[in-house]
Amino acid sequence: MNNFKLKVLVSMVSVALAFSACGGKVNEQSSSSSANQASSAASRLPVIEAVLTQAPNVPPPVARNYAAKIVVNMETQEKVMRMADGVDYMFWTFGGQVPGQFMRIREGDEVEFNLSNSPDSKMPHNIDLHAVTGPGGGAASSFTSPGHTSTFSFKALNPGLYVYHCATAPVGMHIGNGMYGLILVEPKAGLPKVDREYYVMQGDFYTKGKYGEAGLQPFDMEKAIKEQPDYVVFNGSVGALNGDKAITANVGETVRLFVGNGGPNLVSSFHVIGEIFDKVYVEGGDLVNKNVQTTLVPAGGAAITEFKVDVPGTFIMVDHSIFRAFNKGALGMLKVSGPEDKIIYSGKQADKVYLPEGSAAQSIRNPAAAVATKALTKDEQIALGQNLYESNCLACHQAKGEGIPHAFPPLAKSDYLNADHNRSVDILLHGRSGPITVNGETYDSVMPAIALNNDQIANVLTYVLNSFDNKGGQITSAQVEKRRKLPPPSVNDIHM
Ligand SMILES: [Cu+2]
């Protein structure tokens, strides 16, 4: 081995150590987790073992100005994991999670791909990488039975952000079960430096039970063919990017999102509420569009978005086909911390909701069937309720339940809530409008009924009752079911 190669390998190893603890924060010099000891005598290129990361993390920038031979070792696994609170699903995965592991290489690199299929798998799998120039994108060459490893090689001719997926028959089912991920082929000159990089990938899922129906849910081929998913999610499950799993940044930093869409069916209208994409690498290619609100991410396609975060707060990522976001799970969070800038965003608060047509509460739900599950402990309810709060209530009632003056009443230390729990169950079941007095302040607004089932209403209210300085207590699923059977209280009945 000549001196040059040795130097390269050593620097790659040291850089890898620097990266391992840095999360989404980009370490500029990082390159690879381990350098393969021996580059074979025949190969003229230095050999590097690929760093593979699980979403939302991405490997560090390539930081190389020469081509390398990249060795990728990936394993397909079939695994029961969480789809939503109380809902499990048998996912088929690249690397044990949905989406599959992120790969990052450089234009001109040669890739040796070793695809292993876990001996525990029931199905054969393969991989079609859209970054490959060649028949099937590698599919036929990588067809692998359980307990086997296939090897093939390709050269990355075109830079860009590419989807990879399983292409074993029935293809739709393998993709529909979660077999997709992203590979980034950096252009030779690299991508511009940013402060944070994250990996977000959408997918649609088809289950025998409806959204939220508890238990292990099997795949539903008929719904998949009709393109009627029960779940549309980012990073493999409802809430995968919510609460303490949100991605983060500091005010003043530039964030780059590598956004993919595995499908199998839906096209994503990717949007970050309260942000404008300064740049979008359209469809993951070279074309850069500027000042974009919502970008389309095709099924089996990708986009790179970049934006500077100027003000603090929680920025909600959605598929702006908006029922998918609020009713099927396509909602994630970017939490930005740092000082406010009142000029860019005043934080001025809403006054009073304008309701020229009168003020009947609207219902946004169909009565969901009660789902029979084993009774949860109060602590389990609180833990599940927190997630529900963040995706269903936080937008109006705010992170600490403090509400917004004149618009949304507080849930924190709410005398209204603590005085009579059933009233709040009714509010979640039926919505509420008209004057309401909470902690001495009168609000006159509308809360829509929230599409939650009995368990979810019980959990979210139990969470609220035991958070934000409230007085504690517990709401059971049975209690919610009982209220559900009663006629909705007329608005007058629930006026204070
Ligand atoms: Cu497969």
Q: Ligand 1 centre and the CA of 232: distance in Å?
A: 20
C-alpha distances in Å from residue 240, one per residue of 390, 391, 495: 12, 11, 38
Q: Ligand 1 centre and the CA of 167: distance in Å?
A: 6
Q: Ligand 1 centre and the CA of 380: distance in Å?
A: 34
Q: Ligand 1 centre and the CA of 459: distance in Å?
A: 36
Q: DSSP 3-state helix, strand, coil percentages of the chain (rounded to 5)?
A: 20, 30, 45
Q: What is the 3-state secondary structure (H, E, C) of 283-310?
A: HHCCCEEEEECEEEECCCEEEEEEEECC
Degrees to nearest 5, angle at CA 249 with 247 and 253 = 145
Tokens, residue 220: 């539903």
Q: Ligand 1 centre and the CA of 166: distance in Å?
A: 5
Q: Ligand 1 centre and the CA of 172: distance in Å?
A: 9
3-class secondary-structure state, position 323: helix
Q: Ligand 1 centre and the CA of 61: distance in Å?
A: 29
The pLDDT of residue 352: 59
Q: Ligand 1 centre and the CA of 148: distance in Å?
A: 14
Q: Ligand 1 centre and the CA of 176: distance in Å?
A: 10
Q: How far apart are CA 310 and CA 33, in angstroms?
A: 33
Q: How far apart are CA 66 and CA 188, in angstroms?
A: 8
Q: Ligand 1 centre and the CA of 47: distance in Å?
A: 28
Q: Ligand 1 centre and the CA of 144: distance in Å?
A: 9
Q: Ligand 1 centre and the CA of 103: distance in Å?
A: 18
Give the other-Cβ count within 10 Å of 182's Cβ.
29
Q: Ligand 1 centre and the CA of 302: distance in Å?
A: 20
Q: Ligand 1 centre and the CA of 93: distance in Å?
A: 8
Q: Ligand 1 centre and the CA of 180: distance in Å?
A: 9
Q: Ligand 1 centre and the CA of 177: distance in Å?
A: 8
Q: Ligand 1 centre and the CA of 137: distance in Å?
A: 14
The pLDDT of residue 375: 79
User: Tens digits of per-residue pLDDT, 388-426?
Assistant: 898 888 877 888 999 887 778 999 999 999 999 999 999
Q: What is the mean pLDDT of residues 308-332?
A: 95
Q: Ligand 1 centre and the CA of 113: distance in Å?
A: 16
Q: Ligand 1 centre and the CA of 171: distance in Å?
A: 7
User: Tens digits of per-residue pLDDT, 326-364?
Assistant: 999 999 999 999 998 888 888 766 555 565 554 444 444
- Split at pLDDT 50, 70, 90, the class of 41 is very low
User: Tens digits of per-residue pLDDT, 69-109?
Assistant: 999 999 999 999 999 999 999 999 999 999 999 999 999 99
Q: Ligand 1 centre and the CA of 92: distance in Å?
A: 7
Q: Ligand 1 centre and the CA of 124: distance in Å?
A: 6
C-alpha distances in Å from residue 176, one per residue of 89, 173, 207, 220, 457: 11, 5, 10, 10, 29
The pLDDT of residue 350: 54
Q: Ligand 1 centre and the CA of 169: distance in Å?
A: 8
Q: Ligand 1 centre and the CA of 241: distance in Å?
A: 25
What integer best gives the mean pLDDT of the chain?
Answer: 87
Q: Ligand 1 centre and the CA of 279: distance in Å?
A: 34
The pLDDT of residue 394: 85
Q: Ligand 1 centre and the CA of 488: distance in Å?
A: 48
One-letter amino acid at 130 equals H
The pLDDT of residue 428: 93
Asked if 364 contacts 448 with a C-beta cutoff of 8 angstroms, the reply is yes
Q: Ligand 1 centre and the CA of 4: distance in Å?
A: 40
Tokens, residue 267: 């096209």
The pLDDT of residue 22: 43
Q: Ligand 1 centre and the CA of 50: distance in Å?
A: 21
Give the DSSP H/E element, type plus range, for residue 476.
none
Asked if 216 contacts 90 with a C-beta cutoff of 8 angstroms, the reply is yes
The pLDDT of residue 279: 98
Q: Ligand 1 centre and the CA of 77: distance in Å?
A: 9
One-letter amino acid at 252 equals G
